[in-house]
Amino acid sequence: MTTTRRKFLTTSALGGAAALAAPNVARAQSTIRWRLQTYAGASLGAQVAKPAIDMFNAIAGDEMQIDLFYADQLVPTEELFQAMQRGTIDAVQSDDDSMMSPTEVTVFGGYFPFASRYSLDVPALFNDWGLNEIWDEEYSRVGVKHISAGAWDPCHFITTSEIRSLDDLQGKRVFTFPTAGRFLSQFGVVPVTVPWEDVEIAMQTREIDGVAWCGITEAYEVGWADICDYFLTNNISGAWIGHFFANMDRWNELPEHLQKLMATCFEQSHYYRQHWYWAGEARLRTEGDKLELTSIPDEEWARVEAAAREFWQEVADESETKAKVVQIFRDYNAAMDKAGRPYRYS
């Protein structure tokens, strides 16, 4: 009787310990691995993507790791959406426009003309004015999780020849975003598409005359300021709208705490860019020595701003969803104008 009881207790204790230990062993042997590709090349990605991925990996540890890939490393940027939708890539950092996502909101990604004045407008529009809900609905329809949106820098012309009037835009071959190119073409700009990593060579060989892709911070960071000579202070948008996305099935497979951790790290990434770009734009305009600042007179530039309002209406006429987004832009900007300083100065 005693021997039997002792055997039973020993066996039960060992079995219980093994059962309790099993989940930890299994977890250690099956680290979840994701692949995320950013639209940014390695030099820019070190600022706009890598810190968030490093933070997530450090906290998640053996439970999950994200492998980061830069522009065009796994697939071309314009194929990012399809690769993520298929599950070839688990997650993406990009704007809607560059990755050519098949949604009603794609046109608003990247630089939608004059939709924002300052970078803080972007999180305000998404978190407080209803854009998050629209993006979530649009991407859920196509099997993609929209994790969050954030602001990057303003959009300026950075060129090898000077621009001091609208006439100087005529014939300028420029690397830019699809929607920005569509808008700017009415002023004689010739949009040119090349892989992001080839932009520098394209400018050196004069295949293109410059970019309408970023602000001055990015131009210095990625080396374009070493090739170009001029920076136009008139901007066509106050902040780029970019996002983090994930394949919906892969997202749903994650336990809730990892979903929250990923969303938190990506939100920290949005916050970091707010001050990194904001500080850089002012510092490099006043202290940078690589680009000459030029301007188009306000009375001329007013023609571009008026054309943007007509462009908004053209987009709004294309669908009910687009009309809803455009109306939010209009209502938001009207509220900011009415609020006055410090929200708007003119």
pLDDT value at residue 222: 94
Contact between 185 and 178 under an 8 Å Cβ cutoff? The reply is no
Preceding amide of 342 cis, omega within 30: yes
pLDDT value at residue 346: 65
31-115+123-153+240-280 shares its CATH topology with 155-239+289-339? yes
pLDDT value at residue 27: 46
pLDDT value at residue 26: 43
Nearest-angstrom CA–CA distance, 100 and 126: 20
Handedness of CA 50, 280, 237, 183 (dihedral sign): negative
pLDDT value at residue 12: 45
The neighbour count for residue 254, using CB atoms within 10 Å, is 19
Tell me the one-letter amino acid at 331: D
β-pair partners for 232: 294
- Look at residues 254, 97, 122 and name the one whose alpha carbon lies nearest to residue 179: 97
Q: Where are the alpha helices (DSSP H) in 205-255?
A: 216-222, 248-253
CATH number of 31-115+123-153+240-280: 3.40.190.170
> Between β-strands 190-192 and 91-94, what pairing exists: parallel, antiparallel or unpaired?
unpaired
pLDDT value at residue 245: 98
pTM (two decimals): 0.88
C-alpha distances in Å from residue 259, one per residue of 111, 145, 244, 263: 28, 11, 12, 6
DSSP state of 226: G
- Domain ranges for the chain: 31-115+123-153+240-280, 155-239+289-339
pLDDT per residue, tens digit, the chain (346 aa), is 444 433 433 444 444 444 444 444 444 469 999 999 999 999 999 999 999 999 999 999 999 999 999 999 999 999 999 999 999 999 999 999 999 999 999 999 999 999 999 999 999 999 999 999 999 999 999 999 999 999 999 999 999 999 999 999 999 999 999 999 999 999 999 999 888 889 999 999 999 999 999 999 999 999 999 999 999 999 999 999 999 999 999 999 999 999 999 999 999 999 999 999 999 999 999 999 999 999 999 999 999 999 999 999 999 999 999 999 999 999 999 999 999 999 998 6
Q: Where are the alpha helices (DSSP H) in 212-340?
A: 216-222, 248-253, 256-287, 298-316, 320-339
- Long-range contacts (CB closer than 8 Å, 24 or more residues apart) made by 334-341: 336/117, 336/121
C-alpha 219 chain-centroid distance: 16
pLDDT per position as a tens digit, 166-213: 999 999 999 999 999 999 999 999 999 888 889 999 999 999 999 999
Contact between 128 and 158 under an 8 Å Cβ cutoff? The reply is no
Nearest-angstrom CA–CA distance, 76 and 284: 31
CATH number of 155-239+289-339: 3.40.190.170
130: left (phi over 0), alpha (psi -120 to 50) or beta: left
Q: Across all residues in the chain, what is the average pLDDT?
A: 92
- Look at residues 65, 75, 64, 78 and name the one whose alpha carbon lies nearest to residue 37: 75
Contact between 110 and 236 under an 8 Å Cβ cutoff? The reply is no
pLDDT per position as a tens digit, 26-77: 444 699 999 999 999 999 999 999 999 999 999 999 999 999 999 999 999 9
Nearest-angstrom CA–CA distance, 126 and 150: 8
pLDDT value at residue 73: 96
Q: What angle do CA 137, 39, 96 make, to 5 degrees?
A: 25
Contacts of 306 (CB under 8 A, 6+ apart): none
